[in-house]
Amino acid sequence: MQFDTKVALLVLDDLAVWQKLNVTAFLATGIAGVAPEAMGEPYEDAAGRTFARLLGQPMMVFAATRADLQRAHRQAIARGLTTAVYVKAMFSTGHDAANRAAYLAEDPDAPELVGLALRGPKKDVDKTVKGAKLHP
């Protein structure tokens, strides 16, 4: 199946495994939250039990350096891509309002990103993540 859009998640490569998983999960929900049209249908098992919908297209996860994240952040803004962000300070918060306050306190031109999710036209997302490597 071909998609007009692409979803890419860039995660700082030197985080602890639990941090990488945490950042990836939060970023994926950010994209799903702003793109309900990208959600697939509910899952059902053979017993008839229904399970939650998942994003209906693949998400590519990249291991990124700080430079990759900063460059992708600037380019995503310039290209008008749908973007979800996660900064280092959010590891020390305990709820959504505190996360938003932590992000608001960041330098808007150079936040201390540890993760970034993008969704938009395939060509624009590909250009934005260029240089980052798929996560091993």
**Is it the case that residue 2 has pLDDT exceeding 90?**
no
**Helix, strand or coil, per DSSP, at residue 83:** strand
Q: Which CATH number goes with the domain that contains 97? A: 3.40.1490.10
CA atoms 103, 107, 110, 114: torsion sign: negative
pTM of the model: 0.93
* CA 16/CA 18 separation, integer angstroms: 6
How many structural domains compose the chain? 1
Determine the structural domain holding residue 120 and report its residue range.
Answer: 5-134
Q: What does the angle CA 83 – CA 119 – CA 57 come to, to the nearest 5 degrees?
A: 140
Among 10-14, 36-40, 68-72, 87-91, which stretch is predicted with the lowest mean pLDDT? 36-40
pLDDT digits (tens, 9 = 90+) for 80-107: 999 999 999 999 999 999 999 999 999 9
Q: Which residue has the tokens 């305990």?
A: 94
